[in-house]
Amino acid sequence: MSKTKGQTFLGGAAILAASVVIVKLLGALYKIPLGNLLDSQGMAHFYVAYNIYNLLLTICTAGLPIALSKMVSEANALGKHNQVKRIFSVSLTTFFIIGAAATLVMFFFSGPLANFMNDPLASQSIHVLAPAVVCICIVSAIRGYEQGLGNMAPTAISQVLMALGKLIVGLTAAWFLVKWGYGPEISAAGATFGDTVGIVISMIFLIVLVLHTRSMRSEASSDKPQASGEIFKRIMQIGIPITIGSSAMSIITLLDATIVLGRLQSALGLSVEDATTLYGQYTFGMNLFSLPSAFMPALGASLIPFVSASLARRDTKGVSRIVTAAMRVTALLALPAGIGLSVLSGPILHLLYPAVPETAAAAAPMLRVLGIAVIFVCLMLLANSILQAHGWVNIPILTMVIGGIVKIVTNYFLVGTPSINIHGAPIGTLCCYAVIAILNLIIVARMMPGKLNYAAIFFKPVIASLLMGAAALGVYQAMAGFTGNSIATVGAIAVAGLFYLILVLVMRIITREDLKLIPKGEKIANILRLK
């Protein structure tokens, strides 16, 4: 029986992991052409609206679907099918009311919200994105219900539908609005309209699915469900602490954008248009900054049950071995990604954004700093998973708040310095994640029962990544003079990637134990003949 459950869990995890990869690819296909269409001002309006949406989304959906999934899973395991139905009914009503309230706030207060963000022209984008909040709340309720029943496919399919909707509708709307001569604020609103449509499509799919499957799941049951008030209370008890923790970085990101735009205007005397142009340049770097860490949730999902099982067996050596392997895998993936983005920041941006070469050139120095920040983001996410596996769930919240304060203070002073201006924003981001990662790693080292040798874990990957970065830069400089930027960039990435793989094997950095933490790791280890 346990084996079957384990296979079901792994199958569900594989489905979700595959959907994450597809969604990330579709997201890149959406945001990169969108940047070429909207340029820096339009992207600034787009991201300002998104920062507000993401905060409301986190507040509405971060913890409640997890609570719903947990409660449905528990009731279903005990055969309490009437309780499952009551939980879903109460949750759906709760989610709808919360989402509707958030939608009304965004819709009727789009102007004040845009003014608060120091970008009045973002009000149209906020307005158009408002209906998405109530729709995503309904989507989250159905996802939590299906996940509680052990069915991960609806979540995966709905994520892909959402990404496809915003890709097709958002890009099409933005393209037509730009071609028809509308300003960046209207074109950005067209792009956000695609997000709303994508979420509506996802919602319709899930509603049809749940209506169909619930009729098929009408098992006879004699259990007496709890009162709706008791169910609501438990949903809040489980969901609110998770929501508070998840909201920390969303709040910090929102305040950070407000401070950056505000300081560009108040301290440097820039107009709203000039300030949003500079902030938009920063978002071009942020588009690429978020990509390398996409593999971390899958690694964390694999790490937590392994660590938890070893802790239950009081196997301290096993915990240390698994954590060490996870850190080495993270270093092997994050270090070359971060250093590669940093050393080839300009060539990569010019490759991806040929329609806006001036913006790409302006964003290059910022991506150079953000590339290093990528490394700390990945280490932070890994350390968070380790702490959560040990049950220390409040520590990541505290360190994120500390890092967020560092980010806000750093940005306030640096962005307000004329000689630094918008270049202070990526420095603040780097400082933020470096502080969080270092604090988390120190806490992990002190609180874990087994000792961790960070020098042994990170020394070889750092050396290999630095050599890879030097090779990438050298190949690019050698090729750029006679092939042009695009071919030189692709060639440099290919050669550097192959060189890095050779270094990893020659320096014997990775082991079979390390590869077990990633999908198909055992097969990869067999191919590489690792012990």
Residue type, 355: A
Kindly state the DSSP code that residue 293 receives in the 8-state scheme. G
Q: What is the mean pLDDT of each run of 10 residues along the chain (531 residues)?
A: 40 64 85 91 93 86 79 82 88 93 95 94 95 94 84 85 94 96 94 95 93 66 80 86 74 86 94 93 91 71 63 74 84 94 97 94 97 94 81 83 93 95 96 96 84 89 97 96 93 96 88 64 72 66
In this prediction, residue 517 carries a pLDDT of: 56
The whole-angstrom distance between residue 407's C-alpha and the CA centroid of its chain comes to 18
SS3 344: coil
Beta-carbon contacts of residue 371 (< 8 Å; ≥ 6 apart): 289, 338, 339, 340, 341, 342, 343, 345
Alpha-carbon gap, residue 280 to 35, rounded angstroms: 9
pLDDT at 480: 92
Which one-letter amino acid corresponds to residue 253? T
CA distance 476 to 217: 59
Report pLDDT for 305.
57
Helices and strands in the chain, H and E counts: 20, 0
Do residues 401 and 391 lie in contact, with contact meaning Cβ atoms separated by under 8 Å?
A: no
pLDDT of residue 5: 41
Which residue, chain included where needed, has tokens 């595959």?
A: 18
Tokens 């750093």 locate to 410
User: Which residues 6+ apart lie within 8 Å of 341 measured at CB?
Assistant: 288, 289, 292, 348, 367, 370, 371, 374
Indicate the domain borders of the chain: 1-217+226-256
C-alpha–C-alpha distance, residues 227 and 218, integer Å: 20
Task: Please report which residue ranges of 344-453 form alpha helices under DSSP H.
Answer: 345-352, 357-389, 394-415, 424-447
CA distance 191 to 174: 5
pLDDT of residue 521: 66
The distance of Cα 288 from the centroid of its chain, to the nearest Å, equals: 12
The pLDDT of residue 216: 53
The answer to whether the CB of 142 falls within 8 A of the CB of 286 is: no
Q: Please, which residues have CB within 8 angstroms of residue 336's CB and are 6 or more apart in sequence?
A: 464, 465, 468, 469, 496, 497, 500
Closest CA to 31 of 201, 177, 194: 194
Instruction: Tally the residues of the chain.
Output: 531
